[in-house]
Amino acid sequence: MGGDLGMEATRSPSAEKKSPSPVQVAGSDGGTESLGFGHDEGYADSSVESIEVEVWDHDSSYGDELQSMTTSLSSTAYHFVEEHGRTYHSYRQGRYKLPNDEIEADRLDIHHALVLAIMHGELNLAPIAGDIESAIDLGTGTGIWAMDFADAHPNTDLKANDLTPVQQHMVPPKLEFIVDDIEDEWLYEHTPFDYVHGRFLAGAILNWPRLIQQAYTCTKPLGWVEFQEWDTRIYSADGTLHPSHSLQTFHNITSDAHEKRGFDMSPGKKLQGWLRDAGFINIVAKRYVVPLGMWAKDKHYKTIGAYNFLQMKQAFEGIALGTLTQDGWTVEECQILAAKTLTDAKDPKIHSQYDFYVVYGQKPAG
């Protein structure tokens, strides 16, 4: 790619706050069910025009929440599974297909910077008050969004859960990280939240309508739920991404592999309908076009395209290894496909892009 990217993703400044706490693990008997491209109607596009192409030459409250269903984290959650030179979560082993090692943690932090750039620096778009009592972050990953939100809302009791305990131990005082599977029963019906947040859960959820119904049940009347989510199917608006490109092949093969196992890889465009079906009102849905690479002329698109390239550069191999080896691919075959895909992603003549959605809604007063 031409030019220096000129940027470096860093961990949240919240990590500078000192006071270590143990992590909690939640367990329940809730089960999951399996579920099952084009753009949805009714979305407010943040980018209605086409993208112009540039000419190239922790101090935390880890207490006794849900005492009957929550126990101290056993050491097994930290005994990560090693496969193909990468590590994966051991709690509910195999539930999520991507790694949890330092390479993936760095990628997720770059992804956080990408989404902040897409949303012009906003952590959320739902019109929540600054002094809400409680909130939860679903599938928090490295916890970087949760730490930034906790800094912005220091009086809010914030829970953040994930399958793997890779979050910072030095965190804001009212932030609690929990090891949990968000597709289990939540058990927060009697202690509902003012705000429920979920981001980048494509490939991690088997039953989206059930998840959103759980969010509805565990949200206070007049509280808000917000999802920031991808349609992971890549495309080009001008036809420069061809079916013969490895970049297209990679996305087709890996997305199909996920969907064969029941994971919806294009949840973003369906969120508006799912929130409506769950009973939410005052729903707002926005679609953002996100380039892959620095081919766009506009500075904003060039910036988000650069961030997107940086995070996908670190994702190609991990995605291939986590999905395709289960279908008989060798590690070497996955690495070759990832390398060819990266070559296409670097090509400024291929104007590939994704759609990213931010959808939020409010629970009625009654």
Q: What is the pLDDT averaged over residues 214-243?
A: 97
**34 lies in some domain:** no
Among the ranges given (29-38, 105-114, 323-332), the one the predictor scored with the smallest mean pLDDT: 29-38
| Nearest-angstrom CA–CA distance, 305 and 269 | 21
**242 lies in some domain:** yes
What is the band of 184 on the pLDDT scale with cuts at 50, 70, 90?
confident
* Residue-number span of the structural domain to which 284 is assigned: 13-29+40-362
pTM of the model: 0.78
The three-class DSSP label of residue 225 is strand
| Nearest-angstrom CA–CA distance, 27 and 83 | 26
**1 lies in some domain:** no
**35 lies in some domain:** no
What pLDDT, on the 0 to 100 scale, is given for residue 182? Answer: 87
pLDDT at 8 over 60: no
The domain that contains 139 carries what CATH number?
A: 3.40.50.150
| Nearest-angstrom CA–CA distance, 221 and 208 | 21
Number of domains in the chain: 1
pLDDT at 213 over 60: yes
Best mean pLDDT range from 64-73, 170-179, 199-208:
199-208
**213 lies in some domain:** yes
Written as one letter, the residue type at 64 is D
User: What percent of the chain clears pLDDT 90, i.e. is strictly above it?
Assistant: 57
**8 lies in some domain:** no
Q: What is the pLDDT averaged over residues 178-202?
A: 90
**59 lies in some domain:** yes
What is the band of 189 on the pLDDT scale with cuts at 50, 70, 90?
confident
| Nearest-angstrom CA–CA distance, 114 and 121 | 10
**273 lies in some domain:** yes
290-304 pLDDT tens trace: 999 999 999 999 999
Contacts of residue 154, Cβ cutoff 8 Å, sequence gap at least 6: 172, 173, 174
